[in-house]
Amino acid sequence: MPSDIEHGKLSPHSKRFFPSSRPLTGSKRGLVRLWLPALVVLCLFAGFLYMRPDEIAALPSKIIVVSDPVIAAENTTTAVVAVKLTDTEKRDAIVSAFKHAWHAYETDAMGSDEFHPLKHVGQNISEASGGIGYTVVDALDTMHIMGLTDELERARTWVQDKLSFDRDGTFSTFEVTIRVLGGLLSMYSFTVDKLYLDKAVDLADRMMGAFETPSGLPTPSVNLARSVGVPDQYAPDSLSTAEAATLQLEFRYLANLTGNTEYWYKVENVMQVLNKVQMSHHLVPIHMSLRDGTFTPSDIRLGSRGDSYYEYLLKQYLQTASTEGIYRQMYNDAMTGLHQELVQKTVPLRKTYIAELVYQGGAWKLSPKQDHLVCFLAGSLMLGATTVGAVKPVSVPPQPEELSQTGLRDWKTGVALLETCMNTYETATGLSPEIVEFKTKDDGSGKDWFIRGARPGGSSPYDARYMLRPETVESLFIAWRLTRFERYRNYAWSIFSSIEKYARIPAGGYATVLDVDKVPVNLGDKQETFFLSETLKYLYLTFSDADVIPLDKYVFNTEAHPLPIFNSTIQPKFTL
């Protein structure tokens, strides 16, 4: 059904809202059918204003229709009107959750890389050498965005007085980049406080040794005190593809800030190496060789070790104001490969999911398994559709004629995948498992996914856990921003409510739910740092106004640290 209200105006073409100016000659029944729904909406709206006078100030200047014009042609959604942007009450509830998580960490483990909220203790990644501020730095910009000035001041003091990267231990090149370097750079972009830039430069300089390999691909780990790369002890030639290709936003932004081209060219070279060994479908196996930069025969997936390669193709293009066509091309090619090889539908209910290609016995075989991690792709596809896939300025929500054929394709897949991701939250706790498998045959049970190894009364398989992951709320945030459909806020709120109900520890902090289908829950003793940097930030932004970190001014790194879009002062070497 096409929208009757567009961008705050009643469409002049809408007979429903603007019946002909000729005198009405139809029957009374027809008249009632025309005006009754409008009257009901008006009464509800008046009632809303009466009940919530405080919200009047928060009303947007426009009334926004919430039916997806791209999907509407297929008649799958119902229009709902969203009447406000900031939802103060829900946003404040998310801030309270952040404080509950942060204060527990601050009390029991301040400065430790990781936090075990049940034991009330912290732990460093490299115990021998000391911590590098994983949790503190990962959480800084969320505090800044939420306006938590006291907490932020204390955290800044810790960064100033205690944070040191002179650590003679082994640290993941990828994790340190996305969490610590990304967090520092995001804070610098918001505050222009030199403390954060100086720390970022110190850290980046110590990481440069990771790129000293025959191929130029970085070693998976790095010793920060010695600035030397550390190969994997069991597979010294091997590196995860996503880990090599998820450093670029951070190092490129730092290069642009400082003028130090070395940061830029080291990570750009990784993309050149990757591009040289592209397969015909432009999807990437999850392992590479440090020696010669080729792919090692291995699984192909949008989940662990593959995911953010695709995310950063799009975001590298967006980061430099859509000027580097090479990334646009690589992204488009990869999304076409994705649709040809991996986009699948479940058999009973025809839900869209992203399968994996498992490498076995010398060949790739399709497997109907999907990590929770894959749910980032829903929002990524929608963001890509409205940028790379746009043929003219895109409305909110996007109109079909504004998108190219591939843009339309990606939008529809993103919307459908997000619904599937939400289906995986239909569990006893309302939380999604780490990994699901989709049914390829109808077993008559009315459900089209399951958790491998889960049996009634049996012990909980690893796949059944929810570890406070952000990917679905990340996609809901993007979907909300690009459409303003209340449906996405409702989904986000239901996930947040389940986290509150089942993952919150009354004494402080949040923990992993070990089995999403078991109530009462058993908790695993870890509050992941991405809960503070990603999950709660995306939830907060979903209930905030759209001009808080606007999507046309920032790219979020894969750990949800916003980095500004900029016009590069550095001449790229990797071009079309």
List, by residue number, the catalytic residues: 434
Binding of residue 562 to ligand DMJ (CB under 6 A): no
How far is residue 253's CA from residue 257's CA, in Å, rounded to a whole number?
6
377 CB contacts (<8 Å, ≥6 apart)?
302, 307, 310, 354, 414, 417, 475
**x/- map, 293-312, ligand DMJ, by CB under 6 A:** ---------------x----
**x/- map, 482-521, ligand DMJ, by CB under 6 A:** ----------------------------------------
Minimum distance from CB of 160 to ligand DMJ (Å)?
25
Provide the CB-side half-sphere exposure for 58 (13 A, CA): 19
Residue 373 vs 536, nearer CB to ligand DMJ: 373
Residue 410 vs 559, nearer CB to ligand DMJ: 559
Residue 372 vs 487, nearer CB to ligand DMJ: 372
Minimum distance from CB of 311 to ligand DMJ (Å)?
7
Residue 413 vs 558, nearer CB to ligand DMJ: 558
Strands 554-556 and 114-116: unpaired
* Selected binder of ligand DMJ within 152, 334, 338, 373 (CB under 6 A): 373
How far is residue 550's CA from residue 527's CA, in Å, rounded to a whole number?
28
Binding of residue 138 to ligand DMJ (CB under 6 A): no
Binding of residue 315 to ligand DMJ (CB under 6 A): no
Residue 134 vs 364, nearer CB to ligand DMJ: 134
Binding of residue 526 to ligand DMJ (CB under 6 A): no
**x/- map, 450-489, ligand DMJ, by CB under 6 A:** -------------------xx-------------------
**x/- map, 36-75, ligand DMJ, by CB under 6 A:** ----------------------------------------
Minimum distance from CB of 484 to ligand DMJ (Å)?
25
Backbone conformation region of residue 501, classed left if phi is above 0, alpha if psi is from -120 to 50, else beta = alpha
For residue 5, the cross-strand partners are: 10
Binding of residue 433 to ligand DMJ (CB under 6 A): no
Q: How many residues bind ligand DMJ (CB under 6 A)?
A: 7
For residue 222, the cross-strand partners are: 171, 229
217 CB contacts (<8 Å, ≥6 apart)?
211, 239, 244, 270, 273, 288, 290, 293
Minimum distance from CB of 46 to ligand DMJ (Å)?
44
Q: What are phi and psi of 562, to 5 degrees?
A: -70, 135
* Selected binder of ligand DMJ within 196, 265, 485, 530 (CB under 6 A): 530
How far is residue 42's CA from residue 476's CA, in Å, rounded to a whole number?
29
Residue 298 vs 558, nearer CB to ligand DMJ: 558
Binding of residue 101 to ligand DMJ (CB under 6 A): no
Chain centre distance of CA 437: 21
How far is residue 494's CA from residue 212's CA, in Å, rounded to a whole number?
47
Binding of residue 559 to ligand DMJ (CB under 6 A): yes
Minimum distance from CB of 302 to ligand DMJ (Å)?
11
Binding of residue 558 to ligand DMJ (CB under 6 A): yes
| DSSP-assigned letters across all residues of 305-326 | TTHHHHHHHHHHHHHTTT--HH
For residue 403, the cross-strand partners are: 390
Backbone conformation region of residue 562, classed left if phi is above 0, alpha if psi is from -120 to 50, else beta = beta
Binding of residue 243 to ligand DMJ (CB under 6 A): no
Residue 206 vs 537, nearer CB to ligand DMJ: 537
Chain centre distance of CA 267: 22
- Structure token digits, residue 190: 């918001």
Number of H helices, E strands in the chain: 19, 23
In the three-class reduction of DSSP (H, G, I as helix; E, B as strand; rest coil), residue 203 is classed as: helix
Cα 398-404-405 angle, rounded to 5 deg: 110
Applying CB under 6 A, the residues found at the interface with ligand DMJ are: 308, 373, 469-470, 530, 558-559
